[in-house]
Each structure stands twice: as C-alpha cells, then as structure tokens.
Structure 1
Amino acid sequence: MDFSYSEEQQMLLDTTRRFIGKEYSFDARRGFRQQPEGYSRDIWQGFADLGLLAINISEEHGGMGGGPLETMLVMSALGEGLVLEPYLASAVMASKAVALLGNPQQCASLLPALASGEQIAVLAHDEPSTRYDWKAVTTQAWPLGDGFVLTGHKSMLPHGSSADILLVSARLPAGGQSGQPGRLAVFAIPRNMPGLRQLPYATVDGVPACELWLEQVFVPAALMLDALEDAEAAVGRVLDFGLAAICAEAVGALDKLLAATIQYTKDRKQFGTPIAKFQALQHRMADMVLHIEQARSMSYLAAVRSEEADAAARSAALSAAKVVIGQACRFVGQQAVQLHGGMGVTDELDVSHYFKRLMAIELQFGSTDHHLEQYARQLA
C-alpha cells in the first residue's frame, strides 16, 4: 500500500514542523506551562495564522476543508513538540462536533470563530465512573419554557477552563414507560453561563484540565445543536475522530523519544565505550523501532477508517489501532527511561515529559485493556 503524501500534505507537515521547531523548544514549553492558562495564546494565534485551526472546517465557513489525513499529519508534528495548546480539544474534536451537529445558522456563527482562533471550544462529554463507556451519560436536560435546565457533572475536560464554548452532552427526558434513557443532545454553552462551576488542575503530563458541574444551568433552546436527530451517533463519530488524531500524536512523540534515546546512548560512555555499542542495548532499541513502526502503520489505519460510515467496522479498526499504539507507548516510554537511567525521570530532561505524555495517551479514549476487550467482542 502506498503511504506517500501528496505535495500539499507534505507541505502541511513541513510547515507545521518548522513552526514547532522554531517556536516550541523545550525551554519555551516550560515557560508556556507557567502561564495562567497552561499554554501560549501567541502560539495558538500562530496556529491560526498558518491555517492549522481551520483544517477540519469547510471552506464555506472560513476553513481549509481538510480531513483525517491532514489532521494526522498536524497531530504527528504537534506530538513531536509536546504541544500543550488545545488543538485536539478545539481544532479537531469541537470543530468536528459543530460541523456534524450544528444547523446552518449555528455553523455560520461558531465555525469561523474557531477557524480564526478567536474562540476555543471543548467537548464536555466524559463523566465520572463511566469506565470508558461513552454512552453512559447521566447529565440531564429538562425542558423549561423556551429552553432547558441542565444538571450534571463532567469530568477531565482538557482545557475546559480556557474554553469560550463548552459543548455539553446531556440526556433529554425519556418518553413513555420504556425505562430506556432519553435521547442524547449537545448544547453549545458559553463559559460565563450562570450555574457553571469548574475545578481546574494540571494533569500528570502538564495539560490543563478541569472538572465541570452544571448546577441548574438554564440554556436557551437556540443553543442546542440540532441539525441531526441522532446526536449519539454523531458524538460517537467525533470521539472516534479524536481517537485517530491522538494516535497520530503518539507516533510523533514516539519518534522524538526514540531519537533522544539513540543520541544519548551514542554520547554516554561506559568503560571508555559508547553504550550504543553494547549488543544488549542495541536489541532493546531495535525492539523500540519495531513497536514504533507498527504504531505508525496503525495510525495510518486509524486515520483512513476514522470516518467510515459503518460504526461497528470503524470501532473495530480504531480499537485495534489503539491497542497497538497503547502497547508502543508503554514499551517505548519505559525502555527510554530505563536506557537513560535515573535522569530519565527528572523534570529537567525532556524524556520524562515525553514518557508522561505517552502514558496519558495510552489511557485516553479508552485504555489498551479496554480496547482489547472491545476488539475481542467485535470478533465474537
């Protein structure tokens, strides 16, 4: 199979890498983490100026009309730089959610602002104690007058505290006496809406996140994204699209971690000889290469299959990709730290930060064990 990129795709990858290489050194990243929002608004605007925020937005709404392959290339470059900005949350998932669920008026209002970097949006979907069951939404939306009253708790929102728009999923009241959960709906709620309460914190990999409580939040009916009757299927597509994107980010981070490890073993000497010449260590690094190349292939698969119409086939392919990439994240990360010795876990060395990011990726959108179980069920 031919995995070569088109001229436009190669230019997109090269442009993103050049920008990251120039503006996102490890020392600069350390400074961005200390800023109030946990990342750099200047870098975010730089992404907008390059058109990176507009990739998943149609030309009609000021975007580039790209898709999963373009997203894969950008996410891979961002993974190489350990970027802290909310690209996955806003430019990938939120933009996709609005494009799928928003009516023409809502798309015309929200998408140009996301493409230009003027606004940041975050999908608020995950809830506590759901064990990766994305359909287990308990947040309720009760009709009241010309709107809805939302009550619930959303957990682990990356960049939720700096989002201008929160795309909150909630269940509408069930009809009849069936006992089945009500229909899922998504609401585009401004961050300053009365009744919203947040608890911000930084995750282990340095990404800012928050808990979100909705305490009798009144939301006008016009803020419900209502282009599709089946919002649940659309949310599933958005989550799968985000899973494919984070797989690409993992491959970028894995490449950089391997390069750093190889360079260290060339520089580090023991008994007057670079440890890169020790056969046992060569075998370990060869195993790292094998894991990364398998992860790269599965990242391509995830990108290609992330928009497949058949939900079951799409889910199986993405679960397979997440298993292989999750195993690579754990193996390569652990080997890199061990080959660096004790300094591999220090905050001063970038290796420790790549390790923590890869461990976080391994758990996001479902852990390796979860997706292995999901894939086994699909085969059964």
Structure 2
Amino acid sequence: MLTFDTANDLANPLPLAQALIRRPSVTPVDAGALDVLEAALEQLGFACRRYPFGEVDNLYARRGTASPCFLFAGHTDVVPPGADADWQRPPFGAEAEDGLLWGRGAADMKGAIAAMVASVQRFLDAAGEPNGSIAFLITGDEEGPAIDGTKAVLKALADEGEQFDHCLVGEPTNPNQLGDTIKSGRRGSLNCTLTVTGRQGHVAYPERAENPIPPLLTLLGRLMARKLDDGVSPFQPSNLEVTSVDVGNPTTNVIPATATARFNIRFNIAHTGDALSQWIRDEVAKSDLDFDGRVEADIHVTGEAFLTPAGAFTTLLQDCVEAETGRRPALTTGGGTSDARFIQLYAPVAEFGLVGATMHQVDEHVAISDIETLTAIYTRILTRYFQDHPA
C-alpha cells in the first residue's frame, strides 16, 4: 500500500495521480489502486470502508457525520490500453514530461481523483473542519457493466442509513479546455437485441421455409420510422441507432433459420426506459401476427435520462470554475452515460473534471497545469459549499 511521508504531500495532486496511474486497474481488476487511494484518505482522517461485489472492489470514505454531506464520486478502473508498442510512453508509466502527465486513466479519471484529494488537504489547511461532511465513493466498475460498482454500493449505503446532500462526479467533462462544460444531466440508454426465428429451407422452395429476414427488416423499419422527439431543453433529440444486422448465412441458396439485429436508443427526459421498452414490445407483437415463427426482443435499460435543474448548486459550481479559469462553463447534457445516472436517485448531481480529448485513446494524457487548476477549482467548491450550503 502506498503511503506518503507527510500530510503536506497530499496537497500536491501529481504524486497521487502518478501512483494511481501506475496501478493497471483495467476493469474489473483493481491492481491496488483502491489501496493507494484508501491510504491517502485515511491520512486525511477519512473512515474508509470497502464494498466488494462480484469481481469488483469499491471504496467509500467519509470524514465527519454531520450534514450537509458533499460527495465526490468517480472510478479507478480504466479501459484496456491496447498494445504498449502503440504508445509513445508506457501506458501505466505515469511519466510527467514537458508539462504533460501520460498514462491510461490520466484524464478518465485518476487525475481528477487526485485533484479532489489534494483539494481536501488544502481546504482543511485553510478552513479547518468543515461545517458538515465530505465523502468519496470510488468504484472499480464504471468502465464495465456498472452492475457491481456505484449502483450496488449506493444501495448498500442507503440500507445503512447513509445520506448525501449533493454530489460532484469527476468525469472529464471538458471537450477542449478546462472550464468548457459542466454536465448537469445525461440522456438515458436502452439496448435491444431483436431475434427472429423462422424455418430454414431451400430458396427454390420458399413455401417449405419461413424466412426470418423480411419480418426483421419490416420491424426495424417501423422502429426507425418513429420520430422520438424534437429535443427537450436542454437535451438534444432522442435517437435510435441500429448497430448490427446479422444473419450468419454463408450460402446463396439457403433461407436461414434466424436473423438478429441490435440497436441503441439514447433518450431524453421526454421518455422513460419502461415506456420505450413497452413500445418495442408492442411493435414486436404486431410482427408476430403475420409470421409463422418467433420474434423476440431482449431489452436492457442501462440508465434513465435525468436533469439536475439549474439552481444554487450548479451556479456555485459555475462560479468556482469561472473564478479559476476565466471561463463560465455551460451546463450540458450531451455525451454518453456515467455513474451519475445512479447517483441522481439519491442526491442532486453534476459532473466536472479534466479535459477528455484523449480519454480511451492511445497516448492518453493531460496537462499537469490542468490538474493543478482543477485542484484549485475543487478547493474553491468545497470552501463555497460549506459556507453557502446550497439547497
């Protein structure tokens, strides 16, 4: 387990960011990353608890018991780096050169975790004990199925009576420069696999077969023909995207027995996962009426759309970012999903972290100056939060 010589070491985010990056914590393997973080947080006076579920380990840490409780959430797991030879520098080497920190997880999101730890140290040095509590919820399953991570820990914490007043997620929300955007909501996501099962036969004798391809194409056509919405401010329009159509038929003279298709729907707050699922099932039922076979839909809603309305909390975040960067970040809801989709069921949540231009890419890196600025932003957020106690 990594330790630091003095508490002052924690006020500098770079050594902790490097220590975290050097743990090759590719989902669901932790590789000691949470041990590193736990040691740092214990040094800051946090009471730490581990929550293992399945193959995934998770960490919850809290300093104080009073309200309000400010929760920082994130993940130490990372996506695979690919071939080491494709990287200019070792993906888990955490090399700091020419003002840049290199390595898998530098942007997404070990750099932000280190910045928040450093900001707690700076806040305590300047302000002393907070008028409330600070907590960390760090998972090892954000880049994976997201079943045994934040979602599972939040339920366990709720069963234990833990409550949070507001949450900040350290995802890399800025597309180009620090201060671009704060995520104040996310679209929901639904995945569906359609499987049409007919009866195999010779193409010259179609009456002896039941071709699954036409009903699949008809069903897909009906689903794609629906305009889901025109967008609901501040969300973009919902969209259905077909990602695969497969038959697996290597011949030219055989009608296949099955045909499958997969699609994803990214939906805004005009819809719910249940309503969209029911619409798909209704369309599947119509396909069954004129087809002597089976049409099945395997539907998984991996997150509901949500919005944290603009208000005291989001304004506080914007003010703090603007004070350190000179740019007032826009409140946005675009992009993919994050663990904020689970947290929003327990507390108002927003997301702000580093620049994500290289996340999930070969040669992932961030500017060391951005990690320092993010630390200053997070310190300012903690200071303002415990002064203002936003509703």
Q: TM-score range by the shorter chain?
A: under 0.3
Question: Which protein has greater RCO, CA pairs closer than 8 Å, 6+ apart?
Answer: 2
TM-score (norm 2): 0.26
- Which structure shows the bigger proportion of residues in strand conformation? 2
**Which structure is larger by alpha-carbon Rg, 1 or 2?**
2
TM-score (norm 1): 0.26
